[in-house]
Amino acid sequence: PDEDIPEQRKIVKAMFSNIDNDMLLKYSNFLKLQRVIAYCLRFYKNLKLNRYKRSLGNLTVEELEQSEIILVKGSQSIEFRDEIKALKLNKPLLRSSKLISLNPFLDKHEILRMGSRINKALVSFDQKCPIILGSNNFLTNLIIPYEHRKNLHMGPQNLLANIRTKF
């Protein structure tokens, strides 16, 4: 069985480098998709560890945050491929880009975020520079009902304001 471990690592690493719409379409619930990715990340991490040091039990907050980062990056790489490539190369965005008015930048996790003019405000980084998601993106269509249920079925204006604190 130990000979299979390098092969398993290659498979799991390839899965995370290319999250596409096919994987996103298999789930109709954001929380479930996030947890599946978190468990896959844990599996990948545990492959490298001695069996006595492996993570077991409930998912941690860090694991869930890491899975959200992977989901957002995968979603953005599908819809904003050209913009991300230009920003990584420190080139200006094309004038035809629909993101040019948002002053986008890549954060430390290489997530596309909206530039902000409220840098001195006493709010979180997510509120100052929200994550950019496409309007017709499958991940966006999972986040909206998730936030709606999480916030006890609040009205559309409150829901939109709540989602915009992060996305």
pLDDT tens track for 99-133:
999 999 999 999 999 988 787 788 999 999 999 99
Backbone angles phi, psi at 112, to 5 degrees: -75, 125
| Torsion angle of the four alpha carbons 31, 102, 113, 139, in this order, in degrees rounded to the nearest 10 | 20
What's the CA angle centered on 74, arms 73 and 80, to 5 degrees?
75
- What is the per-residue pLDDT across 147-158, written as a single tens digit (0 to 9) for each? 999 999 999 999
What are 20-71's pLDDT values in tens digits? 556 667 888 999 999 988 998 898 889 888 888 898 999 999 999 999 998 8
Tell me how many degrees the CA angle 49-65-59 measures, rounded to the nearest 5: 55
Indicate the pTM of the whole model.
Answer: 0.84
